[in-house]
A and B are shown apart, each in its own frame.
Chain A
Amino acid sequence: MIRYVLAFALSLTAASAQAEIDIQEITSPGGIDAWLVEEDSIPFVAIEIIFDGGASLDDPAKRGATNLMMALLEEGSGDLDARGFQEAREALAASYGFSAYDDSVSVSAVFLTENRDEAAALLRDALVDPRFDDDAIERVRAQVQSMLRSDAQDPNSIASATFDAAAFGDHPYGSSLDGTAETVAAITRDDLIAAHTNALVQGRVYVGAAGDISADELGVLIDDLIGDLPMEGPDLPDRVEFGLEGGTTVVPYDTPQSVALFGHEGIERDDENFFAAYLLNEILGGSGLESRLMHEVREKRGLTYGVYSYLVPKDLSTMYLGQVASGNATIAEAIEVVRAEWAKMASEGVTAQELDAAKTYLTGAYPLRFDGNAEIAGILVGMQAQDLPTEYIAGRNDLVNAVTLEEVNQMAAELLDPDGLHFVVVGQPEGLE
């Protein structure tokens, strides 16, 4: 769920007077809550639905079942087989996306106003009445197996898999939600039905919509879409401690450029000092302003095309991660610079000037994120999943601006742990073991 968390964390940063977003909080006739931004200048609507739970609900012996299940929702439902379903969708020019993450599964859809009812009815069947036909299962299973083979040879995927396994062991976070060749081969149709019942749970749903639809119309549409899903699901997994200590792990792989993934424990999203950490990271390794890492490793030394760090507050644990890639001959130097910058900021903190620049950037960037129906729907659903009120948008600028230099530097001392940083390096790095 790294990508989703990151996208959301960015969208939380701050508000500005320019973000004139009028959010309607609605409850459908059937009792489902949703947030809506009505905007009728373009005749379509974007809908984002998130169900808490996600691939962490997998049975370890059937790891990958939630992911395979989500991939099969577009492969036939109701009276339609896979091809029939897709022909119907194409005729409506609607688009549906189904994704699995560690902590959630998501459904994204866009419907034209002119055929919204038909497009919603088709999506409803995919969510509530998927067929899981045997031929579709085998076809998609083969696609997943092909992807797993590719990941096993991809330096970035190898680095993630190695890092996660070392950090989280047997917890679901310790393995890829795609599963392994063995567990994916073991998944049966019954397992997929169980994964569907477990993951698409009405009691764990969040809905956001933006575009050409009224509150009343949206209420009816949501009831149609998800009103027939089960109310409750199985217990969520326990929390897990980040279990990796400082050091370096080299995974030998014959490729010219070494890829390094590094990190240590992070900070909870609902920590009262989260914004201090967020500003701190923006200065150290964020992607908006030129970060210290980017300045030192790329601009000054030309050792990499990109180096970044990012907070990863997952539902059941936290990480503070970063990544850098450099030729096999220079990766050791790049890593040394990253460690030195980590240590320097931990001991010396940031300057008032850096903090001001980061605040200006984060507060100014916020309104620019509300730039399309799908983006707005995604922000709305993300805010609900984080239990934030609609007023959050208007007040967030002030919260960012209220963070003091002392708070950021205290956070730097507490959060940044140069000795605790663990680097997983995939390649043929010279001078590293």
Chain B
Amino acid sequence: MSSRMNTPGISKEDQERLAQSGIDLSMENRCGSYLQMNQEVVDAECSQEGIEVLSYKKAMEKHDWLQEYVWKAVSKDKDEITKYVAAQNDPKGYVIIAHKGSSNILPIQACLYLGRETIQHVHNIIIAEEGAELHIISGCTSGGHVGAGAAHYGVSEFYVKKNAKISFTMIHTWTENIEVFPRSASIVEENGVFLSNYVCMQPVKKVQMYPTATLKGENSVARFSTIAIASPTSYIDVGSRAILEAKGASAELITRAITRGGTIISRGDIQGKSAGTRGHLECKGLILKDGIIHAIPEIVGMVVGTELSHEAAVGKLAQEEIEYLMSRGLDEDEATATIIRGFLDVKIAGLPDALQKQIDATIDVAEKAGF
């Protein structure tokens, strides 16, 4: 077990926001961590045998072979964001390598803290070698005081090797001035499993991302879950894409979106390029106050023997459901919160308990505040 994380210059208030993002500063329930404040790497460590947590710079010095994994899942020229990150002379970010056969029960936490009006850029590389199992929680938080002009550009490349598994749970606790542009992609090999969970319950100015999993190996699996609430000033454009390239590959993309006046664009795309593949996409939206939920589910089948489906629904809280609970003695606010909490309840198959509990706790905080 590691010792308590040192977080100089982060106020108590912001430390609480970090906790909401799943960052355990006591390190009691984490086996390793990476902490970056603005552009400064504060901490990179891991006590779990067989797993390395390194800063990008250190990792490149230590392992020459890592070059084969740089800009291979994500294209350097994809857009302005990737170009900006690629142009850095001193790239920041982390590299996590779960060596062959290793596994962690307690997750590794990656904490990206934005404390001033700047562009925080990171380039992360995450590798689970053959048979390895790696669980990561990424908490992204900004200081409560940060004004306009602050942004986060994050490139993440995931490599899931044969029989390996990566779960990546990202919890955003930004503030209303922050713009966020994650760019991530994963390549999953034979029997590999990639789980990606995204939770955004707090205000943010703008999030725009479309993580993609390419299922290259036979019987590989990708599951994406997205839970987002848009407050009145938030613009959240999130999607997930799975490309099924090998026999037996399957993907499930689940989104729960709520608007309290802001905008959520919920994109989803599954491409069936090989026979014997399956994919399902589900997006449910709830409009609490006039705002926009725009669901754009796409499924593209290209061969005989791929089976793809999607369902999307946008609606309001049903008065009948609220009154049903009221007839059992819950007052209107309790009844409403209970129904919303249920709506957001997405159980992710294969996710360790500790991470599911963290997701639940993050939603509970929002529930207590009345969503």
The finding on whether chains A and B are genuine partners in a shared complex, rather than unrelated, reads: no
What residues make up the interface of B, taking CB atoms closer than 8 Å to A?
none
A residues whose Cβ falls under 8 Å from a Cβ of B: none
